[in-house]
Amino acid sequence: MASPEFPSLERSLEEHLPPDELRNVRRILLGGEPRKLSLPAEALAAASELDFELAAFGFEAAEEQLRPARLVRVGLVQNRLPLPPCAPVAEQVGALHRRIEEMVAVAAQCGVNVVCFQEAWTMPFAFCTREKLPWTEFAESAEDGPTTRLCQRLARAHGLVVVSPILERDEAHGDVLWNTAVVVSSSGAVLGKSRKNHVPRVGDFNEATYYMEGTLGHPVFQTPFGRIAVNICYGRHHPLNWLLYSLNGAEIIFNPSATVGALSEALWPIEARNAAIANHCFTCAINRVGVERFPREFTSGDGKPAHRDFGYFYGSSYVSAPDGRRTPGLSRTRDGLLVAELDLNLCRQTGDIWNFKMTGRLGMYAEELTAAAQPDYRPHIVKE
Amino acid sequence: MASPEFPSLERSLEEHLPPDELRNVRRILLGGEPRKLSLPAEALAAASELDFELAAFGFEAAEEQLRPARLVRVGLVQNRLPLPPCAPVAEQVGALHRRIEEMVAVAAQCGVNVVCFQEAWTMPFAFCTREKLPWTEFAESAEDGPTTRLCQRLARAHGLVVVSPILERDEAHGDVLWNTAVVVSSSGAVLGKSRKNHVPRVGDFNEATYYMEGTLGHPVFQTPFGRIAVNICYGRHHPLNWLLYSLNGAEIIFNPSATVGALSEALWPIEARNAAIANHCFTCAINRVGVERFPREFTSGDGKPAHRDFGYFYGSSYVSAPDGRRTPGLSRTRDGLLVAELDLNLCRQTGDIWNFKMTGRLGMYAEELTAAAQPDYRPHIVKE
Mean pLDDT of all residues in B145-161: 98
**Which one, of B192, B243, B189, lies nearest residue B219 by Cα?**
B192
Q: How confident is the model at residue A1 (pLDDT cuts 50, 70, 90)?
A: low
> How far A207 CA sits from the closest chain B CA (Å)?
13
Partner-chain residue, chosen from B266, B278, B384, that has the shortest CB–CB distance to A28: B266
Q: Residue B172 gets which letter from DSSP?
A: G
> Does residue B117 fall inside a structural domain?
yes
> Does residue A271 fall inside a structural domain?
yes
Is residue B196 among the annotated active site residues?
A: yes
Does the distance separating the beta carbons of B219 and A380 come in below 8 Å? yes
B300 reaches A (C-beta below 8 A): no
Query: Rounded to whole angstroms, how far apart are CA atoms B194 and A7?
Result: 45
A293 reaches B (C-beta below 8 A): no
> How far A266 CA sits from the closest chain B CA (Å)?
5
Q: Assign residue A196 the CATH number of its domain.
A: 3.60.110.10
Pick the range with the lowest mean pLDDT from A4-8, A164-168, A348-352: A4-8
Return the residue of A nearest to B18 by Cα.
A16
Does the distance separating the beta carbons of B356 and A240 come in below 8 Å? no
**Please, are residues A315 and A287 in contact by the beta-carbon 8 Å criterion?**
yes
Q: State the best of B8, B354, B377 to mutate against chain A, taking most chain A CBs within 10 Å.
A: B354
**Please, are residues A34 and A10 in contact by the beta-carbon 8 Å criterion?**
no
Does the distance separating the beta carbons of B273 and A219 come in below 8 Å? no
B271 reaches A (C-beta below 8 A): yes
**Which one, of A313, A291, A300, lies nearest residue A119 by Cα?**
A313
**For A151-163, how does the pLDDT look when each residue is reduced to its tens digit (9 = 90+)?**
999 999 999 999 9
Query: Rounded to whole angstroms, how far apart are CA atoms B53 and B333?
Result: 10
Strand pairing partners for A228?
Answer: A221, A252
Provide CB contacts within 8 A for B109, sequence distance 6+: B39, B40, B42, B43, B46
Active-site residue, selected from the candidate residues A116, A140, A196, A284: A196
Return the residue of A nearest to B265 by Cα.
A28
Mean pLDDT of all residues in B234-256: 98
Query: Rounded to whole angstroms, how far apart are CA atoms A189 and A162?
Result: 10
> Does residue A113 fall inside a structural domain?
yes
Does the distance separating the beta carbons of A359 and B240 come in below 8 Å? no
> How many other C-beta atoms lie within 10 A of the C-beta of residue B33?
11
Report CA-CA distances (Å) from A176 to A149, A191, A211, A212. 21, 21, 8, 9
**Which one, of B328, B316, B286, B341, lies nearest residue B37 by Cα?**
B341
B109 reaches A (C-beta below 8 A): no
Return the residue of A nearest to B382 by Cα.
A221
Amino acid at B239: P
To the nearest 10°, the Cα dihedral for B102, B104, B106, B111?
A: -170
**For A219-276, how does the pLDDT look when each residue is reduced to its tens digit (9 = 90+)?**
999 999 999 999 999 999 999 999 999 999 999 999 999 999 888 999 999 999 999 9
Active-site residue, selected from the candidate residues B140, B196, B207, B284: B196
Domain encompassing residue B38 = 33-296+305-372
A195 exposure class (CB count in 10 Å sphere: 0-12, 13-18, 19+): buried
A185 reaches B (C-beta below 8 A): yes
B63 exposure class (CB count in 10 Å sphere: 0-12, 13-18, 19+): exposed
Q: What is the total count of domains within chain A?
A: 1
Active-site residue, selected from the candidate residues B10, B119, B168, B271: B119
Task: Indicate the helix (H) or strand (E) that contains B346.
Answer: helix B345-354
> Does residue A377 fall inside a structural domain?
no
> Does residue B16 fall inside a structural domain?
no
Give the number of residues written for chain B. 384
> How many other C-beta atoms lie within 10 A of the C-beta of residue B300?
15
> Does residue A77 fall inside a structural domain?
yes
Q: How confident is the model at residue B3 (pLDDT cuts 50, 70, 90)?
A: confident
Query: Rounded to whole angstroms, how far apart are CA atoms A79 and A4?
Result: 15
Return the residue of A nearest to B23 by Cα.
A2
Can you count the helices (H) and strands (E) in chain B? 10, 16
> Does residue B174 fall inside a structural domain?
yes
User: Using CA of residue B166, residue B169, residue B172, residue B173, what is the dihedral sign?
Assistant: positive
**Which one, of A119, A273, A288, A278, lies nearest residue A196 by Cα?**
A119
**For A264-315, how does the pLDDT look when each residue is reduced to its tens digit (9 = 90+)?**
999 999 999 999 999 999 999 999 999 999 999 999 999 999 999 999 999 9
Q: How confident is the model at residue A3 (pLDDT cuts 50, 70, 90)?
A: confident
Q: How confident is the model at residue B1 (pLDDT cuts 50, 70, 90)?
A: low
Question: Residue A78, CB half-sphere, CA atoms under 13 Å: how many?
Answer: 33
Please list, residue by residue across B104-122, b when 16 or more beta carbons sit within 10 angstroms of its beta carbon and e when fewer do: bebbbbbbbbbbbbbbbbb
A234 reaches B (C-beta below 8 A): yes
> Does residue B342 fall inside a structural domain?
yes
Classified as helix, coil or strand, A157 is helix
Helix axes A268-279, B268-279, angle to 10 degrees: 110
Return the residue of A nearest to B242 by Cα.
A239
